[in-house]
Amino acid sequence: MLKFSANLGMMFGEEEDPIKRMELAKTSGFGAVEYLFVYDMSLETLKSESSRLGLGWSVINIALGEGIKNGPLVAATPGKEESWKENVAAAIEYCDVLRPATAVIPAFSPPESVSREDAMEVFKPSLIYAAEEFHKIGIKLSIEPLNPKIRANALLTTSAETLDLIEELGHSNLGIEFDVFHLYATEGNIDANIKKCLPNVGNIQIADIPDRNEPGTGEVDFESFFKVLEDCNYQNWVAAEYIPSSNTLDSLNWMKNYLSN
């Protein structure tokens, strides 16, 4: 049976306090949570609340930009190696306490002045460095390919090129974040693609196409996708990372068959 996580940066926005959203997720049947960005929240508060509620963590994203902020991808920017190490260290601190299933580095865009070729030359050793650091605390690092129509100039846009990069780097602590919203748009045929990716998948995120709303509001056949995951005995989290088309609680009908988890 599948188990689901809620992305609280996008869901339960009816509650202004992001920490209080954790209890709403728990009472709605989710077994874990994730946020788009955790570094502006108290680690001790996140730890105590998730412990109180018995919630796991699906992912923690490594900050993309310089100074542990959002921005162009320092992991792929020449001369910003120390900034990348600072971002990795911050993520290690949160991950070592909250113990997510995986840490994630989205294959975001580098600064406009950096060519893709130069960016990849920096990105590869950056991934190896982070994979080694996360290996020390027993947490996998997952690379997330992105739809370039949503994230212009993304370094990786398909599961195939992400798996090729993982094979090239040859580090056992590297995996893939399989985001259905991005990969359905760039590849389609997610049932076949997830089968190819599963040995390397650290986490799955879901949202329907085209408006990034809950399953059942767009083009993706989630009933078929979930069956593939069950048939393959997928054990990690499936994270709901969508914008509710109405109120969050009303958007959860797709999950009713899994509430026992």
Q: Give the active site residues.
A: 144, 241
CA distance 43 to 212: 29
CA distance 102 to 139: 6
CA distance 80 to 74: 6
Helix axis angle for 116-135 and 159-169, nearest 10°, is: 60
Question: What DSSP character marks residue 253?
Answer: G
Q: Tokens standing for 169?
A: 């780097």
Sheet order of strands, 140-144 included = 56-57, 32-34, 3-7, 237-240, 201-206, 174-179, 140-144, 102-106, 59-61
CA distance 181 to 188: 10
CA 83 to chain centroid, in Å, comes to 21
